[in-house]
Chains A and B, each alone.
Chain A
Amino acid sequence: MKLLVCISQTPDTTANISFKDNDTAFNPDGVQFIMNPYDEWYALVRALELKEAVGGTVTVLNVGPSTNDAVIRKGLAIGADDAVRIDAEAVSADFVAFQIAEYAKDKGYDAIFMGKETIDFNGAIVPSMVAEYLDLPFVSQAQHMDVEGNTATLKRDIEGGVEVLSVDFPFVISAAKDLAEQRIPSMKGIMMSRRKPLNVVPAVDFVNPVEVVHFAKPPAKSEVKMIDPDNMDELVNLLHNEAKVI
C-alpha cells in the first residue's frame, strides 16, 4: 500500500507562548519545536504498522520552511521511507489542506493519515478539508483500525459508547489517542534518516480566504482575596461590585 502521513511541527508543550507583528503572528524565538504528537505517536506509527503488515511505502509530508527539516528527519528516523516538504510557511489550515491535496491528488495514495489536531492551534480541520478536496471518504478521530483486504474497520469513542465504521480504501483518516503506541526512534533509524530522500517541492498558489486579525493570551490570573467566613456582607459586596458576577 502507498501511504501518506501528514506531519506538522508544533511548539513543545512546555514552551512559553508569545506573539509578534502586532499580535498577528506566533513568535517562534526561543521556542523548542516537536512533531505534533497526534501525528507522530498515532498517525505515523499506525501507517508504519500497516505497511509492515501488508507491504508498501510510507511517505511523510510537511508543509513548512526548511527549519522544519529536523522534525521531518525524525519521521524518517521512526521509519518512514521518504519525505516531502512543501516549501512554504503554513499560514492557515486552508492553505495547508490545499497544498496537501494538490500534492497528493495524482499520486494514488491508498490512505492519508493525519493527527486529529495540532496541539498549537487545535483547529482539527485540515484532515476533513483534505478529504473534501480529494473527494475521499473521511474518518475522524480513529482510535482503532483493523484492515481486511481492501476494507478498514475503524473504531472511535462517541458520547456514551463506541462507533464502529467500515470504509474501503482509499480514504483519509485522522488519528486520536490509542490508534497506535509511540515508537521511539533507534540510533540506527536516526542514522538512516540522513540517507533517506527528503524532496522539497514548491507550493501552489492559493488565496487565503481567512485572515488572522489578532492573537491574545488569556488574562493573567488575578490574586485571590481571602474573606472571613463571618463577613458575608463583604463577600457579597466584592462579588457584586468587583467581580461583577452577581
Chain B
Amino acid sequence: MSQKAKEDRYQAHDYYNVDALLSDEHKMARDAVRDWVKKEVSPIIEDYANRHECPVYLMKGLGEIGAFGPSLPAKYGGGGMDETAYGIIMQELERGDSGIRSMASVQGSLVMYPIYRYGSEEQRMKYLPKLATGELIGCFGLTEPNHGSDPGSMETRVVDDGDAYILNGAKMWITNSPVADIAVVWARREDGRIIGVIVEKGMEGFSAPEIHGKWSLRASVTGELVFDNVRVPKENVLPEALGLKAPLSCLSKARYGIAWGALGAAMDCYDSALRYSQERIQFGKPIGQFQLTQKKLAEMITDITKAQLLVWRLGALADAGKASAAQISMAKRDVVDMALRIAREARQIHGGMGITGEYPIMRHMMNLESVVTYEGTHDIHLLITGMDITGFNAFK
C-alpha cells in the first residue's frame, strides 16, 4: 500500500436527537454498517481511489452484512427490512465512500428491485438470492451515449426472433458493468414500447468495456454495454415491465437511497472539519475559535440537521408506501447539493491538508460530482419539482 491505513475517527452528529425517531433495529443496522465501513472500507478506500481501482472483493462483504436489497423479502435473500433501514444503510456506506454506496445502490435498487418487481417467480428465484450474497454482480443499463437525461429517446432495440429477442445498441456510464455477471437492460421493441431484459455475461455479441480516467467515483467501476446482435432468450424478458415507467420506478428507489447516502458523505466532511478546527492551531489558537470558521461549521450542522429530518420524513413516507417520485426527486437533488456545499466548505477548513488524501474531503467532493449528475442531474430534478408544482412540463 502506498499509503498507511489511517485511523477512521468518525463520530456521528445528531443535533436534534433524530435518533429518538429511529427504532432499535434501525440503530442496530446503522451501527453494524458503520462498524463494517470502519473495518473494511476506511483502511483501504483512499488507496483504491488513488489507483482508480474498484475493491470488487467488497461485494462479498456487502452481501454478508445484508446491504443488497435489505428491504426485499427474506425468501429472495433480502432482509425484510423497511425503507428507512435501507436509507440508513446507504447513509453509512456513503459516509465511507460514494463509490461503495453506488455498488450497493445499483445491486439492490437497480438490479434486484426490477427483477423482484417486474420479474417472473423463476427469474426471482434464479437471480435474487445470488445477487443478495454478492455471488452474482449486476448492473443497470439505461443511459446511452446519445441519451442521458432523455432516456425515452433511447436507440437500443430488440427485434422479435421467435423464442428470443435480437438485441442491438450500446449503453454508456454503467456502474459495475465491466465486473457484472448480469445486466438489466432497457431497450425498445419494434412497436416502440420499452422493455427490460436480463443479459448474461458470455452471451455472444455482448461486451462491457471499462471507462477509464474518471476523476470521480474512482473506487467504483464504470463501463459501457455493447450489444452486437445478442440473442436474448424470451425467458430473460422481465414480463411485467412495459414502458419507460418501469426503469423510472427503479431510479426512484435508487434516488431515495442516494438522498440518504449523500447525507452520509456530508456528515463525514463535517465531522472531519469540526475535529480539524479544534486541533489545528493558527495565530495561537484553534482555528475553530475564529468566527469565520464557526460560521462555516454552524451552517454545516444546520444544513445536515435539516437534511436528517428531510430523509427521515421521506423514509416514513416510503415505509407507508406514500413517497411520491417527485418527493424523492426533491430529496435527491437537495441533499446532494447540500453535501457538495459542505464538502467545499470543509475542504477550506482543512487548508492545504484538505487537498491531500490524508483527509476524506477531496474524495467525497469529487465523488459527489457524479452523484449530482447520475440518477437525474440537479437541473433535471429541478424541472421535476417544477412540473409537479406548476403543472407545466418544461421537458417538452
Q: Which A residues lie at the B interface, using CB under 8 A? A: 14, 69-70, 73-74, 77, 182, 184-191, 193-194
Q: Please list the residues of chain B having a beta carbon within 8 angstroms of any beta carbon in chain A.
A: 11, 24-25, 27-29, 32, 35-36, 39, 64-67, 70, 74, 79-81, 85, 89
**Cβ-neighbour of A73 out of B28, B35, B67, B70 (below 8 A):** B28
| A77-B74 in contact (CB<8A) | no
- For B70, what are the chain A residues with a Cβ–Cβ distance below 8 Å? 187
Task: Report whether A188 and B32 are in contact in the complex, using a CB–CB cutoff of 8 Å.
Answer: no
- Among candidates A69, A73, A187, residue contacting B89 with C-beta atoms closer than 8 Å: A187
A187:B79 contact, CB within 8 angstroms: yes
CB pair B24 A73 closer than 8 Å = yes
CB-defined contacts of A182 to chain B, threshold 8 Å: 35, 39
Chain A residue contacts of B32, Cβ below 8 A: 77, 184-187, 190
Query: Would you call the interface of chain B mostly helix, strand, loop, or mixed?
Result: helix
Indicate whether A187 sits within 8 Å of B39 (C-beta atoms), given known contacts A70-B24, A70-B28, A194-B25. no
Known: A74-B28, A184-B35, A184-B65. A191 touches B11 (CB 8 A): no
Asked if B39 and A184 sit within 8 Å, CB to CB, the answer is yes
A32 CB, min distance to chain B CBs, angstroms: 9
Question: Chain A's nearest CB lies how many Å from the CB of B108?
Answer: 11
Contacts of A186 in B (CB 8 A): 32, 64-66, 79
Contact of B25 among A14, A69, A184, A191 (CB under 8 A): A191
Bound state CA distance, A182 and B80, in angstroms?
24
- Count A-B contacts at CB 8 Å: 53
Q: Is the CB of A187 within 8 A of B35?
A: no
Chain A residues whose CB sits within 8 angstroms of the CB of B79 once the complex forms: 186-188, 190-191
Q: Which of B24, B27, B81 contacts A187 (CB 8 A)?
A: B81
A47, B392: Cα distance in complex, Å: 63
Closest to B28 in A: A190
Complex Cα distance A194/B36, Å?
A: 21
Q: List 16 A-B contacts (CB under 8 A).
A: A70-B24, A70-B27, A70-B28, A73-B28, A184-B35, A184-B36, A184-B65, A185-B32, A186-B32, A187-B29, A187-B65, A187-B67, A187-B89, A189-B66, A190-B79, A191-B74
Q: Min CB distance, B279 to chain A, in Å?
A: 16
Which residues of chain A have C-beta atoms less than 8 A from B36's C-beta?
A: 184
Q: Please measure, in the bound complex, the distance between the C-alpha atom of A189 and the C-alpha atom of B74, giving whole angstroms.
A: 11
CB neighbours of B81 from chain A (8 A): 187, 190-191
- Select which of A14, A187, A194 is within 8 A of B66 by beta carbon: A187
| 5 extra A-B contacts, CB within 8 A, seeds A187-B65, A187-B79, A194-B25 | A70-B27, A186-B65, A187-B66, A190-B79, A191-B81
Given contacts A14-B11, A191-B80, A191-B81, contact A185 B74 (CB under 8 A): no
By Cβ-Cβ distance, the 8 closest A-B pairs, closest first, are: A187-B66, A187-B79, A186-B66, A187-B70, A70-B24, A185-B32, A190-B28, A184-B36
Do B28 and A77 touch (CB < 8 A)? Answer: yes
- Provide the bound-state CA to CA distance between A193 and B81, in Å: 13
CB-based nearest A residue for B25: A190
In the bound complex, do residue A185 and residue B28 qualify as a contact, i.e. CB atoms below 8 Å apart?
yes
Residue numbers in A under 8 Å from B28 (CB-CB): 70, 73-74, 77, 185, 190, 193
Give the CA-CA distance A153 to B12 in the complex, in Å: 42
- Residues of A contacting B39 in the complex (Cβ-Cβ under 8 angstroms): 182, 184
Task: Check B29 against A190 for contact (C-beta < 8 Å).
Answer: yes
**What is the CA–CA distance of A184 and B65 in the complex, to the nearest angstrom?**
7
Chain B residues near A191 (CB-CB < 8 A)? 25, 74, 79-81
For residue B80, which residues in chain A have a CB less than 8 angstroms away from its CB?
188, 191
* Chain B residues within an 8 Å CB radius of A189: 66
The answer to whether residues A188 and B66 also contact, given A14-B11, A70-B27, A73-B24 and a CB cut-off of 8 A, is yes
- Docked Cα-Cα span, A193 to B23, in Å, equals 13
A29 CB, min distance to chain B CBs, angstroms = 13
Smallest CB separation, A117 vs chain B (Å): 21
Closest partner residue, chain A, to B17 (CB atom) = A30
Question: Which residue of chain A has the shortest Cβ distance to B61 in the bound complex?
Answer: A184
Pairwise interchain contact B24-A188, C-beta atoms closer than 8 A:
no
Give the residues in chain B near A184, CB-CB below 8 Å.
32, 35-36, 39, 65
Q: What CA separation (Å) do A194 and B81 show in the bound complex?
A: 12
- Taking CB as reference atom, which chain A residue is nearest B9? A14
A185 to B24, CA, bound (A): 13
A23 to B10, CA, bound (A): 32
Q: How far is the CA of A118 from the CA of B24 in the complex (A)?
A: 23
Residues on B with beta carbons closer than 8 Å to the beta carbon of A187:
29, 32, 65-67, 70, 79, 81, 85, 89
Which residues of A sit under 8 angstroms from B27, Cβ to Cβ?
70
Q: Give A187's nearest chain B residue, CB to CB.
A: B66
Complex CA distance for A59 and B165, rounded to whole angstroms: 55
Q: Which residues of B contact A77 (CB under 8 A)?
A: 28, 32
A73 to B89, CA, bound (A): 19
Kindly state the separation between the CA atoms of A191 and B89 in the bound complex, as whole angstroms: 14
Q: Report A-chain residues with C-beta under 8 Å of the C-beta of B74.
A: 188, 191
A13 to B: closest C-beta gap in Å: 11
- When distances are taken between beta carbons in the complex, the residues of chain A under 8 Å from B66 are 186-190
Distance A187 CA – B81 CA, assembled complex (angstroms): 8
| Chain A, residue nearest B38 (CB) | A184
Residues of B within 8 A of A73 (CB): 24, 28
Compute how far the CA of A69 lies from the CA of B32 in the bound complex, rounded to whole angstroms: 17
Cα distance, A161 to B29, chains bound together (Å): 40
| B1 CB to nearest A CB, Å | 21
Question: How far is it, in angstroms, between the C-alpha of A186 and the C-alpha of B79 when the chains are bound?
Answer: 9
CB distance from B95 to the nearest CB of A (A): 15
Q: In the complex, what distance in Å separates the CA atom of A191 from the CA atom of B78? A: 11
Residues in B with CB closer than 8 Å to A74 are: 28
Cα–Cα, bound, A70→B65 (Å):
19
Return B104 CB to nearest CB of chain A, in Å: 12
Which residues of chain A have C-beta atoms less than 8 A from B24's C-beta? Answer: 69-70, 73
Q: With A and B bound together, what is the CA distance between A189 and B27 in angstroms?
A: 14
Shortest distance in angstroms between A218's beta carbon and chain B's nearest beta carbon? 22
